[in-house]
Amino acid sequence: MCRLWSAVQIGNFMKKRYVLAIDLGASSGRGMVGCFDGEKIILKEIHRFPNVPITIGNTLHWDIDRLFNDIKQSIAKAALLYPIESVSVDTWGVDFGLLGSDGNLLENPVHYRDNRTVGMLERAKQYLSNEEHYRLSGNQLMEINTAFQLLSLKENRLELLEKADKMLMMPDLFHYLLCKEKCSEQTIASTSQLYDPFKKTWSKEIIEAFDFPSCIFTPVVPPGTLLGRLHKSLADELGVSNLVVMTTAGHDTQSAMIAVPTEQKDFLFLSCGTWSLLGTETSVPIATPKTLSKGMTNESAYGGKTAFLQNITGLWLIQESRRQWALEGRDYNFAKMAKLAQNSQKIDSYINPDDPIFASPGDIPNRVQEYCRNTEQSIPKNDGQILRCIYQSLALRHKLAAETVSDCTGKEYKELHIIGGGANAAPLCQMTADACQKTVLAGPSEATALGNAAAQFIALGCLENLEQARQCIRSSCEPIQYDSISLEE
């Protein structure tokens, strides 16, 4: 098949282009240089660093100063090795920082796993019914969402909210620290339950219903917006000139969605990391009483599209198990944990990954055993069986979510694209294929960083659009295929 290249592509093929993607995940952050050669995007890890919340008083916070220092290190290291043209940051959703009138942070941003939002979902009904809140926002009602974090401030720390001049979601906060421009990137704003997914801007109705100060909300801009150059004092400190700061799809799930290597208009994806986000891409939001009852959420995606999905507790269970076993002297890597699960004796026991018992940090393996005991199932006896129980429970939960998406959209999906860290877990991929009775295409595992970089390359004119970016990503990494084993076999 003959491939036709545009003049822009031909020019870019003759010269490699470089961008820096900063991806802040649940346990670590990475500075990844993306190189585009006209056909493929190749990633190179420049700097990896921990992303661990800190407790100040009784509150769980982002370690903002250390993280920003690591972002600066990433820029300095990348610029030393490559002629990077731009940088952009993605993070998980819902969290934010508050700036005072002097432009400085009022305090370290609070982490969504802090308990300040406990009870706020119930309290919110006094301002706006669940049904109306969902109709206006399209977001699954979860206490961790930005709206309920702000409600906690309004009811318990009003003096802090009254001091706030601007609220910036976390990717926007890091961009502000880099170039001093204040804005709200579309995809990250759409995780807040304060955003109108139809008008693609902040929801005046929701903000007024809760009586939040409207002045704290900054203009909403799309992914790929050039914000400005690294501000002079920072450029001088790092020895970097002419580096452009831009928005990518600031919500890490939406950056990952850019990197789904599909040619299909209708596809099913599972962005599998600390959270499993399973859904599809639609042209418009779907926010109905039915989708509310099914726990579906709508988030703005790249290119004006909508990510219609379910939030599911994901590899958090594996990550926390690993941390617990390391404390006990058994320091497994994730590949070893996958093998332990694969080689363990089968066990017909399941947990509900979304049960509140698994929400907080701590001894997850003991809680898995406790859950099985309390539900009168066989109790996993060793690390391998605990891991197998977690993986097969996640696979079953993926099946239920896939069925829900099909029920809500009226469409059938033969394939499921697993992207993110979960694509490396062979037992999870095979169990998900078997549970869903679908072909699973696993990869890329670095979907978030790839999508972050791809959005930058589109903004720089190296790629023309989302479809071409996905074509490029298909050329860059071949997914691993897992065929389902018939349940009758």
- For residue 485, tell me if it sits in a domain: no
Please report, for the domain that includes residue 131, its CATH number.
Answer: 3.30.420.40
Residues 200, 169: Cα–Cα separation, whole Å: 16
pLDDT in the model for residue 11? 47
In the three-class reduction of DSSP (H, G, I as helix; E, B as strand; rest coil), residue 402 is classed as: helix
pLDDT in the model for residue 164? 98
> Do 2 and 70 contact (CB within 8 A), yes or no?
no
Give yes or no: residues 52 and 199 share one domain. yes
Q: Of the candidates 443, 458, 484, which is a domain's last residue?
A: 443
Give me the domain span that covers residue 313.
262-443
Total of domains in the chain: 2
Q: pLDDT tens for residues 337-371?
A: 999 999 999 999 999 999 999 988 889 999 999 99
Q: Of the candidates 222, 246, 270, which is a domain's last residue?
A: 246
Which phi and psi angles does 100 have, rounded to 5°? -85, 180
Residues 85, 401: Cα–Cα separation, whole Å: 40
Residues 436, 484: Cα–Cα separation, whole Å: 8
Give yes or no: residues 240 and 269 share one domain. no
Give yes or no: residues 28 and 155 share one domain. yes
Average pLDDT in the chain? 95
Give yes or no: residues 161 and 307 share one domain. no
Q: Of the candidates 443, 461, 483, which is a domain's last residue?
A: 443
- For residue 478, tell me if it sits in a domain: no
The contacts of residue 299 (CB under 8 Å, 6+ apart) are 93, 138, 139, 187, 190, 191, 197, 251, 253, 254, 306, 307, 309
- For residue 310, tell me if it sits in a domain: yes
- For residue 459, tell me if it sits in a domain: no
Give yes or no: residues 282 and 391 share one domain. yes
Give yes or no: residues 177 and 273 share one domain. no
Which phi and psi angles does 310 have, rounded to 5°? -115, 140
In the three-class reduction of DSSP (H, G, I as helix; E, B as strand; rest coil), residue 45 is classed as: strand
Q: How many angstroms from the chain centroid is the CA of residue 423?
A: 15
Give yes or no: residues 233 and 361 share one domain. no
pLDDT in the model for residue 8? 47
Residues 29, 252: Cα–Cα separation, whole Å: 12
Across the range 199-213, mean pLDDT stands at 98
Give yes or no: residues 226 and 346 share one domain. no
What is the DSSP secondary structure assignment for residue 126, as one 8-state letter?
A: T
The single-letter code of the amino acid at 376 is: E
Q: pLDDT tens for residues 231-270?
A: 999 999 999 989 999 999 999 999 999 999 999 999 999 9
pLDDT in the model for residue 1? 28
The contacts of residue 180 (CB under 8 Å, 6+ apart) are 103, 228, 231
Reading the block at residue 63, the tokens are: 């370690």
Q: pLDDT tens for residues 425-462?
A: 999 999 999 999 999 999 999 999 999 999 999 999 99
pLDDT in the model for residue 7? 46
- For residue 252, tell me if it sits in a domain: no
Residues 40, 43: Cα–Cα separation, whole Å: 10
Q: Tell me the sheet residues that pair with 98.
A: 167
- Residue of 32, 56, 54 whose CA lies nearest to 43: 32
Give yes or no: residues 198 and 295 share one domain. no
The contacts of residue 59 (CB under 8 Å, 6+ apart) are 110, 114, 116
Cα distances from 210 to residues 125, 145, 146, 152, 428, in angstroms, run 10, 14, 12, 11, 42
51 band by pLDDT with thresholds 50, 70 and 90: very high
Across the range 35-48, mean pLDDT stands at 97
Residues 351, 329: Cα–Cα separation, whole Å: 26
- Which run of H or of E encompasses 13? helix 7-13
- For residue 142, tell me if it sits in a domain: yes
pLDDT in the model for residue 486? 63
Q: Is the pLDDT of residue 180 over 60?
A: yes
pLDDT in the model for residue 13? 43
Give yes or no: residues 274 and 227 share one domain. no
Give yes or no: residues 58 and 24 share one domain. yes
- For residue 351, tell me if it sits in a domain: yes
Q: Which residues are the active-site residues?
A: 252
Give yes or no: residues 148 and 229 share one domain. yes
- For residue 103, tell me if it sits in a domain: yes
